[in-house]
Structure 1
Amino acid sequence: MCTSLTLAASDGAKILARTMDFPNVDPWQPTVIEPGTQWRPILDKQRLTHYRIVGSARHLDGHYLFGDGLNSAGLSCAELYFPNRTHYYDDPQPGKINLTPQDFILWVLSNHATIADVAADLDQIAMVGKVWYAENKIYPFHWLLADSTGQTAVLEPMSLTLTLTDDPVKVLTNTPELSNHIERLDKFLETDAKRLPAAATNYLASQKPLPEGPIPTNRFIRTAINRWGQPTAETATKATQQAVAILQEVVIPKTADKVQAKNHNFTHYISVIDMTNLRYTQIPIDNTPKKVIDL
C-alpha cells in the first residue's frame, strides 16, 4: 500500500520519494553498503556490490531486504506492492540470474548506473516465485526506477519477459498496472498525459475535492494531480519539501485497535532520494527523528 513519485527541481536536482506502507514488521533501518560487499540471492551465486548503496532495509538473518535505495552513480529504485498481477517462474532457470522479488533492488543498485543499463541487462534475469531467506511468502512487487538523467521507469512483471516501461506521469502506487492507472487519471481529468500539467493546475485551482482514502487508484490520481498541478520547485531542498507535503496527504495511519492484525498496513516512513546530490532522507511517521545520509 505504497505511493511514490519523482520530481525535478529548477536547479537540476532529480528526486524520488515514496511512502513505505506495510504491516507491522522488523524496522526499516537506514543502511549503507560499501562497494565490494558480498551478497547472495537465495537462488543464485554470491555477488559483489560495485557501487556504494544507501536505503531503508530490514536486516534479516544476516541478509538485507531493501525497500528502496540509491547508489553512488545516482540510480534509485523502490518496490511497491502489486498483488494479483505478477507472473514469476516457478523454478530457477538455467543460464539466467535467478532472483526472487526481494533480491531485485540489490541487483539493480549493485551493478548499474542508469535505467538504460538496467534495461540492457534485464534479459539475463529470471524472476522466480520462491520464498526468500527469512520471509514466509512470495511477494508480488513492481518497481519504480529513476536516475540522475530524470528518466522514470516502471518494471511490472506481468509476464516472464521483463521489460521497463517509461512512466510519463512519474507516479506509482499499487495494483492495478501503470497503464490502467493512467487511463483512470485521464478519465478523471477528461484529458491525457500530454495535457496533464495544465489539467492538474486547473483542477487544483477549482478547489474541487481530490479522491481520498487508501485505495491505490485514488492515491494515484490524488498524487498525480498534486505533483503536476504545482509550480516546479526551485531547489533540491524545496523539491524535497514539496514531495514530502504531497506524500503526507496519502499517509496511512497506524491504528491502535488494528496494530495486532497481520494485514494492517500503515505508513512506516517517507523516504526522499536526491539522485543529483546523492542524499537519502528517511522520515519515520512515529516520533523517531529523521535521518539524512549523504553518499
Structure 2
Amino acid sequence: MCTSLTLTASDQTTILARTMDFPNVDPWVPTKLPAGTEWQPILGQPATTQFNIVGAARNLNGHTLFGDGINAAGLSCAELYLPSRVTYYDDPQSDKVNLTPQDFILWVLSSHQTVADVLADLPQVALIAHVWYAENKVYPFHWVLADATGATAYIEPTSLTLTATDNPIQVMTNTPTLADHYSGLAAFLQVPDTKQPTLTQASIAWLASGQPLPEGPIPTNRFIRTAINRLGHPQPKTGNDAENAALTYLKQVVTPKLENGQQKPNHNFTHYISFMNTKALTYTHIPIDTMRSQSLSVVDFAK
C-alpha cells in the first residue's frame, strides 16, 4: 500500500520519492551498506556490493531487507506491492540468476550503475516464490527505478519473463497494473485516451478548476490524485524544488496509523516518506510519526 513518483527538475536533477505503507512490523531505519559488503541471497552464491548503498531497511536475523535505496552511481530503486498480479517461478532455474522478491533491490543496487544496466541484465533474472530468511510469506512486489541520467523503469512481474513497463506519468501505487491505472485516470478526467499529452492537459485543467481530487487509501484513488498533481503542476526548477513538490504530493496520500487500540495486525499505514536524489547522491528519510527529515550522503558515509 505505497505510492511513488519520479520528478525531474529543470536543472536535470531526478528525484525518486515514495511513501512506505506497511502493517505494523519492525521499523524501517536509514541504513548504510559500504561497497565491498558481502550479502547472501536466500538462493545461490554470496554477492558483494560494488557501490555504497543507502536506504531504508529492516535487519532480520542478521540479513538486511531494503524497501528502497540509492547507490553511489546514482541508481535508485523502490519496491511496492502488486497483490494478485505477480507471476513467479516455483523453483530455481538452472540458467538464471535466482532471486526472491526481497533480494531484488540489493541485486539492482549492488552491481548496476544505470537503469540501462539493469534492463540489460533483467532477462537473466528468475524471481522465485520462496520465503526469505526470517519471513514466512512470498511478497508480491513490483519496482520503480531511476538514475542520474533521468532514465526510469517500472518492472511489473506479471509474467515469468521480466520486462520494463511503459509509464510516462512516472507514478506508481499498487494493484491493478499500470495499464488499468491509466484507464482509470482517463475515465476520471473524462478524456478519450491515455496518451501523456492528453492526460497532462486534462490534469492542468482539473487543478485550475478547483475540483476535488480522490481521497482515501484505495490504490486507484492514490494513483489518480498523485498523477494529477504531478502532471498538473509546473516542472520544478531545482532538485530542492522537486523534493518539496514530491513531499507536498505524498503527504496527501499518507495512510494514518490507527490509535487507541484500533490498530490491526494487517492494517497498512505510512511509516515514512523518502527521496532519492540521483544528482546530489543523497537519501532523505522522513518518519511520519515525527516528520523530522534526515538526509544521508551515499558517497561520504561520514555525513
Q: Which bin holds the TM-score, normalised by the shorter protein?
A: over 0.9
2-structure distance, mates of 1:230, 1:134? 43
Range moving further from structure 2, 88-97 or 282-291? 282-291
2-structure distance, mates of 1:249, 1:72? 30
2-structure distance, mates of 1:182, 1:147? 24
2:252 corresponds, among 249, 259, 266, to 249
Q: Is 2:204 aligned against 1:224? A: no
Matched-pair contact (CA < 8 Å) for 1:269–1:283: yes
| SS in structure 1 at match of 2:244 | helix
Aligned residue runs from structure 1 range 172-183, under 5 A: 172-183=172-183
| SS in structure 2 at match of 1:103 | helix
What does the per-residue CA deviation read over 1:92-139, in whole Å, with 9 as the maximum and x for residues that have no partner? 111211100000000000111111111110111110001001111110
Residue correspondences, number: 295
Q: Can you give the 5+ residue segments of structure 1 that lack an aligned partner in the other structure?
A: none
Please tell me the residue identity of whatever aligns with 1:148: A
Matched-pair contact (CA < 8 Å) for 1:201–1:228: yes
Corresponding position of 1:197: 200
1:262 corresponds, among 259, 262, 265, to 265
Q: Is 2:217 aligned against 1:214? A: yes
Aligned residue runs from structure 1 range 76-87, under 5 A: 76-87=76-87
TM-score normalised by structure 1 residue count: 0.97
Please tell me the residue identity of whatever aligns with 1:108: V
Aligned residue runs from structure 1 range 45-56, under 5 A: 45-56=45-56
State the Cα RMSD in Å.
1.2
Aligned residue runs from structure 1 range 163-174, under 5 A: 163-174=163-174
Corresponding position of 1:291: 294
1-structure distance, mates of 2:297, 2:241? 17
Q: Is 2:116 aligned against 1:116? A: yes
Matched-pair contact (CA < 8 Å) for 2:257–2:263: no
The 1:221/1:26 distance shift into structure 2, 3 A limit, reads same
1-structure distance, mates of 2:262, 2:12? 41
Matched-pair contact (CA < 8 Å) for 2:283–2:296: yes
TM-score normalised by structure 2 residue count: 0.95
Q: Is 2:270 aligned against 1:281? A: no
1-structure distance, mates of 2:287, 2:10? 27
Matched-pair contact (CA < 8 Å) for 2:68–2:105: yes
The 1:196/1:278 distance shift into structure 2, 3 A limit, reads same
The 1:149/1:208 distance shift into structure 2, 3 A limit, reads same
Please tell me the residue identity of whatever aligns with 2:269: F
- Kindly state the Cα deviation for residue 259 of structure 1 after the two structures are TM-superposed: 5.5
Corresponding position of 2:301: none
Corresponding position of 2:125: 125
- Kindly state the Cα deviation for residue 36 of structure 1 after the two structures are TM-superposed: 0.9
Range moving further from structure 2, 15-24 or 159-168? 159-168
The 1:113/1:259 distance shift into structure 2, 3 A limit, reads farther
2-structure distance, mates of 1:259, 1:37? 41
Corresponding position of 1:88: 88
Corresponding position of 2:186: 186
- Kindly state the Cα deviation for residue 166 of structure 1 after the two structures are TM-superposed: 2.7
Matched-pair contact (CA < 8 Å) for 1:258–1:264: no
Matched-pair contact (CA < 8 Å) for 1:152–1:166: no
Corresponding position of 2:146: 146
Give the percent of matched residue pairs that are identical in Structure 1 and Structure 2: 60
- Kindly state the Cα deviation for residue 288 of structure 1 after the two structures are TM-superposed: 6.3
Matched-pair contact (CA < 8 Å) for 1:24–1:259: no
Corresponding position of 2:33: 33
2-structure distance, mates of 1:294, 1:198? 37
What does the per-residue CA deviation read over 1:174-222, in whole Å, with 9 as the maximum and x for residues that have no partner? 0001111111112222333232222111100001111111110110000
Please tell me the residue identity of whatever aligns with 1:95: D
What does the per-residue CA deviation read over 1:62-100, in whole Å, with 9 as the maximum and x for residues that have no partner? 111000010111111110011000110111111211100
